[in-house]
Structure 1
Amino acid sequence: MTDAALRALLDKDAIRDCIHRYCRGIDRADEAALVSSYWPDAHDSHGAYSGPVSGFIEQVRKVWATGPRNIHNVGNIMVEFTSDTRADVETYFIAFQRGTGPDGVERQVQLCGRYCDLFEKRGQEWRVLRRTVVYDWVAPQEPPAQSEQDRFGPRTPIGGSYPDDPVYHIAADAGN
């Protein structure tokens, strides 16, 4: 294997890790993970919002304050390097989202689409510089009438937000 081929594999893995960090950040209300997936000067076109990533993150904070339930699943990550420091990346996603809107109504929706990203490498780190979210599927769903405890029953723990979700306690729980 050539050095260039090895570098490309390592860079693709770093890009995938960044995409996964974004998903954890959004789903677990982990602001540090979310912020670390974008460059500070990034631009995000995300549905109704289009502008600096700082505005997108502020919008996300407001949603987190309502206690939503989000799950993002990504796959089909295609990376095309345009230079040593830039890559065009298309990532397919499926997202299940439930939360209370500004009007006080709880809604649930399944979204499918793609993140069409320009990634940039600064130093040794890859992050999103420009994101356009393309929606290919939207399926509104009826939110469940039961509480999560009733629906999940003995299936615990139930996923939660940072820092309470079990993922943040893996190392601490290993000694038990």
Structure 2
Amino acid sequence: MTTSTTRILSELADREAIRECLYRYARGVDRLDADMLRSAYWPDCVDEHMGFTGNLEAFIAWSFPIMGAMDQTLHLIGNVLVSIHGDEADAESCFYGIHRVNLPGGKSDVIGAGRYLDRFEKRDDEWRIARRLVVTDWFRQYADSADWSQGMLGIMVEPGGRFPDDESYRRLDFG
């Protein structure tokens, strides 16, 4: 199935708003920013997420302790396919999630990849996720993690932080 350029042009703002919503989701979970995450979902959404099924507030209550127990996380989103039907849209987007987890024997890196199968709804000129199913297509768990005491390529760096301590909250304004 292909989409004509005329149709894409007429839907361009909606498509971009949907992509931005996906990016707000990634930033919200990685920075543990509940308000940013809330801006990506409708309050009455249903999220089916790796064994969890529930609404937005239940998802925050379930996911933030899990993500907060990790030292760092980074979610990348790409290959976004969108099909708009009036004020509803279907989107499939690929994710690649990098997680530094704390285990009893030390730290481990876990990488997961898969797809978000989303139903978006446009309400009051705003697109948000109304329903999500997470499909995990691939993962890899490493026995260890990087040694931050040695720095990246021998250059000492500080890892990014979480809300509100991450430098982005001082330098950028997404309000």
Q: TM-score range by the shorter chain?
A: 0.7 to 0.9
Q: Which residue of 36, 60, 71 corresponds with 2:74?
A: 71
TM-aligned CA deviation for residue 171 of structure 1: 4.9
Q: How many percent identity over aligned positions?
A: 37
**Shift in alpha-carbon separation, 1:142–1:7, aligned structure 2, 3 A:** same
Residues 158 and 18 (structure 1), Cα distance of their counterparts in 2 relative to 1, 3 Å cut:
same
What does 1:71-150 align with in structure 2 at a 5 Å threshold?
A: 71-81=74-84, 83-100=85-102, 106-144=107-145, 146=147, 148-150=148-150
Asked if 1 retains the 8 angstrom alpha-carbon contact of 2:32 and 2:68, the reply is no
Counterpart Cα distance in 2 of 1:18 and 1:31 = 14
Give the letter for the 2:96 counterpart: I
Q: How many residues align?
A: 168
Q: Deviations over 1:63-119 (max 9, x none)?
A: 2442431111111000001x2210000001111112237x89754311110000000
Find the partner of 2:40 among 31, 37, 42: 37
1:88 counterpart SS class: strand
Q: Confirm or deny: 8 A CA contact 2:118 2:133 kept in the other structure.
A: yes
Pair 1:106–1:117, CA change in 2 (3 A): same
Structure-2 separation of matches of 1:48 and 1:104: 26
Tell me, in whole angstroms, the C-alpha distance in 2 between the residues paired with 1:93 and 1:65.
19
1:144 is paired with a residue whose SS is: coil
CA distance in 2, matches of 1:6, 1:104: 53
Cα distance between partner residues in 1 of 2:106 and 2:127: 38
Q: Structure 1-normalised TM-score?
A: 0.84
Compute the RMSD of aligned alpha carbons.
Answer: 2.4
Q: 1: CA distance between counterparts of 2:141 and 2:105?
A: 17
Contact 1:98/1:143 (<8 A) preserved: no
Stretches of structure 1 lacking an aligned partner (at least 5 in a row) = none
Structure 1 residue 51 corresponds to structure 2 residue 54 = yes
Deviations 1:131-160 (A, max 9, x none): 0001110111123273x3434453434211
For structure 2, which runs of at least 5 residues remain unmatched after alignment? Answer: none
**Which AA in structure 2 matches 1:11?**
D
Contact 2:97 2:113 survives alignment (8 Å): yes
1:15 aligns with 2:33: no
